Structure 1
């Protein structure tokens, strides 16, 4: 008897999604190699190979039998875990099957070319060269947004937003960001006034090899399992791979060790989330992280809620000074890390002004996808919003403005709001955790195990078995509440 005929439809789906997961695993490692190891002359052929792999995954996700299996599995006796898994399978197939093959391939090729050339164009402030490639990426992204919008009954930008943050809408984001702007500008002013006499002239220079040693030590303190992953260098720090084969990157600046240190801590937060996703649904959509905002919630919990806490810094300081051959005091380090001052570069922004960077990009993304602005308009629009939200003048320096981020090079429109949503989630998780644990005492004693266990039990081990709202309510007792973020910032900085 043919075993395939006796297998349940749900099991057929499991086998097929595991097959797709293996392909995506290879895709992520190839992408990591492209950012870290690939010679510059290999970009064109690698782009073609990646586009071909995209098509293989696209075809596998559109196999004719999948819809039959999905329909049949609905009437099969499923456990609660399997029912949740089936829900996420449906969502992933809807996403993967929405676009025609021609658009999938064209978008990959355009994105690869734009991203690869961006590396040198940004360094040379070459807006004219960059915008030619970006125009093609924007054109294809608008096509994608229109197709997804029609299929889901959403606005084009909401359809793109849903790829990264299921269930989130422009209407909800507008409300959250408008509330944030009622208190954030005043807070920035108050903090700057309080910090007016702070001196920030400490020597942050450090040998890059020593910085790398420190990064590895801190990753170990934070629970990263090196038998399942590694740390490398890229132009823009990121985390990728699968739970058992994780690749994270940082960037080193000899003039300031803190940039690499906190990039590493941030990416370790992403990686630890991945390493502890539910093994029972590994390789299936339900075994993936819930959303990009929850993912950012984990990295910002590590970086902001934990990493920049003076109590944590105090435990880290002896090893930091020993490894880097420094003699920094806790006050010097804390004042450097907590200094609030509007800056040009998002990834180097302080915790208080960072949301303004995200609101700036969010406003531009909405306008781009809606067709209200064109690529040629972006430098002027960026300049206007940077002055309005951050009080800074780009003055034609595009590498400090519209060219500074990698995200738009491959058409990742809808991604940026996840960063500030993640900051809100991180603060809310910390507040909920503090209702059950003596968090302050645990950090002070450098006993982080109970903190990580809380995250494992309430966030990491859930994967996508719950919806975002279910996950947050179950973990914290309430839906997303931005008040926790406001309270965190005021407590730390005022």
Structure 2
């Protein structure tokens, strides 16, 4: 590699450190910052965003990119291509717009918290209108620079190589599948016996820590805390997971933590030789979601794992042992219903929540939907997809943080990730010897080892479909997900 490329590597490492600081400040804001600290935190985040942007578009960057020679190593060549892509995206956005978005997003997110608690969209509408205005401005600038539709330009920022034209037919196919499968799944499910509880928070937290460690999370490099909305953040060596506890329902915290542990294991397994380089980072949010869901939905809700988990739950919470038999745990954990809340939805109906958000945010960015009309459009869309309507805004368009924090183009990653998780698990079951026996013993080592080789350790060397092709032999195939649902919920082969 030549001097120009060496300088680029150093510059991107500095940018990565700033972005790590942003992530940690964001975690702090969600977990422990007092309500009155929002304005100061918004300014801090805006300044950091501006600094990273200035470093990325500094005058010398164009010269370094033009003169860079990474040599013949495929990782370094991929790294240079990703650097150039990040530069093009950053150069398309004026610095004042980047800082304005950071401030507006931070301010809106704080107002959203109160609006959600009050179930009152009107409280957040002025701030949200500004967030949407700035998002449209950024999307237009990115689209013009990259030769993409504005919404596609935003999607590209979350998952490389995935466009609305790719997603729309997949979602249409799934909507048709759901219309047929949901009534059948509802008709054949058997009501579970509900463990009476209460399930003390301290016992839940101890169990969450135990299972996360069992999955491979190293608590010398990780924390588990509480927040309104569960999430995983931090850095590969300083991982932060949050969850929320309900003493009437242990599954919410337990499965939430295992979901976030999947995210954390991905970050911890990224290639250390390329730490703080674009090629050493996660391959995108759909890939990230596949890693959380292969742990939570594919492994932790499998018959094999539930057989191991039952006695652990009985040991933790007491009560009748029959309540924790694998058959009853499956009935508890795999219940299907028409839920209004995305994060509470089962895996059959969850994609409908994503489809709704994909369609609405695409319309918001295109200017086809005014922010003031969002609550009504939400009610209409939910009625069309699941036949239910929210009673208030908290059950409707206020339930998610993403839009109020400026994240447009993100939602498709959830369902693409679920589909990829099913495809990866199908491949793992044929390629990993002893996988089922290991899960039946509560041992994630074979699955984690395979994922580290096939997904985690590849960083961003490959895009979404190429990564799946390398791991499973084919690009994303939604049929694997639908086949998984048929087997689990419809008794299909």
Q: Please give the TM-score of this superposition, normalised by the length of structure 2.
A: 0.96
Query: Of the candidates 23, 33, 41, which is equivalent to residue 46 of structure 1?
Result: 41
Distance 2:334 2:462 in 1: 35
Q: Where has structure 1 moved over 6 Å in runs of 4 or more?
A: none
Q: Pairwise mapping of residues 239-278 of structure 1 onto structure 2 (< 5 A)?
A: 239-278=232-271
Question: How many angstroms does 1:83 deviate by?
Answer: 0.6
Distance 1:326 1:368 in 2: 50
> Deviation digits for residues 295-315 of structure 1, max 9, x if unmatched?
000001011001111221221
Superposed counterparts of 1:200-239, under 5 Å = 201-239=194-232
What secondary structure is seen at the aligned counterpart in 2 of 1:232?
Answer: strand
User: Are 1:160 and 2:144 counterparts?
Assistant: no
Give, in angstroms, the shift of residue 415 of structure 1.
0.3
CA contact (8 A) 1:297 1:425 kept: yes
**Cα deviation digits, residues 128-157 of structure 1 (max 9, x gap):** 101121111111101011101111111111
Contact 1:137 1:411 in 2 (8 A): yes
- Give the aligned partner of residue 454 of structure 2: 458
Secondary structure in 2 aligned to 1:246?
strand
CA distance in 1, matches of 2:9, 2:285: 24
**CA RMSD for the aligned pairs?**
1.4
Using a 3 Å threshold, how does the CA distance of structure 1 residues 412 and 200 change in structure 2: closer, same or farther? farther
Question: Where does structure 1 lack aligned partners over 5 or more consecutive residues?
Answer: 1-5
What's the counterpart of residue 362 of structure 2? 366
Matches of residues 122-137 of structure 1 in structure 2 within 5 Å? Answer: 122-137=116-131
Question: Cα offset for 1:348?
Answer: 0.6
Taking the TM superposition and a 5 Å limit, the aligned residue runs for 1:94-493 are 94-195=88-189, 197-199=190-192, 201-327=194-320, 328-330=323-325, 331-395=327-391, 397-437=392-432, 438-493=434-489
Q: Deviations over 1:380-428 (max 9, x none)?
A: 1111111110111213x10000000000011111000000000010000
- Tell me the CA shift for residue 182 of structure 1: 2.3
Q: Is the 8 A contact 2:314 2:324 kept in 1?
A: no
Distance between the aligned counterparts of 2:407 and 2:125, measured in 1? Answer: 16
1:65 aligns with 2:65: no
Distance across 1 between alignment mates of 2:38 and 2:224: 22
Aligned to 2:80: 86
CA distance in structure 2 between the aligned counterparts of 1:48 and 1:467, rounded to whole angstroms: 34
Aligned to 1:402, what secondary structure does the other structure show? coil
Q: Conserved in 2, the CA contact under 8 Å of 1:202 and 1:332?
A: no
How far, CA to CA, are the matches of 1:83 and 1:204 in structure 2?
A: 56
Using a 3 Å threshold, how does the CA distance of structure 1 residues 201 and 468 change in structure 2: closer, same or farther?
closer
Q: Contact 1:290–1:463 (CA<8 Å) still a contact in 2?
A: yes
8 Å CA contact 2:216, 2:444 repeated in 1? no
Q: Distance in 1 between matches of 2:309 and 2:82?
A: 40
Q: Is the 8 A contact 2:215 2:443 kept in 1?
A: no
Q: Among residues 28, 36, 41, which one is paired with 1:33 in the alignment?
A: 28
Aligned counterparts of 1:129 and 1:200: Cα–Cα separation in 2: 41
Cα offset for 1:326?
Answer: 4.1
Residue 177 of structure 1 deviates from its aligned partner by 0.8
Question: In the alignment, is the contact (CA less than 8 A) between 2:215 and 2:445 conserved in 1?
Answer: no
Instruction: Report SS of the residue matched to 2:67.
Output: helix
- Give the C-alpha shift of residue 447 in structure 1: 3.1
> Once the 2 structures are TM-superposed, how far is the Cα of residue 200 of structure 1 from its aligned partner?
5.1
**Which has the larger displacement, 412-421 or 319-328?**
319-328
Correspondence for 1:3: none
| Structure 2: runs of 5 or more not aligned | none
> For each residue in 1:314-359, what CA deviation from the matched residue of structure 2 results, as whole angstroms up to 9, or x when unmatched?
2122222222334332233221111100111100101111011100
Q: Is the 8 A contact 2:259 2:293 kept in 1?
A: yes
Residue correspondences, number: 486
Q: Is the 8 A contact 1:58 1:96 kept in 2?
A: yes
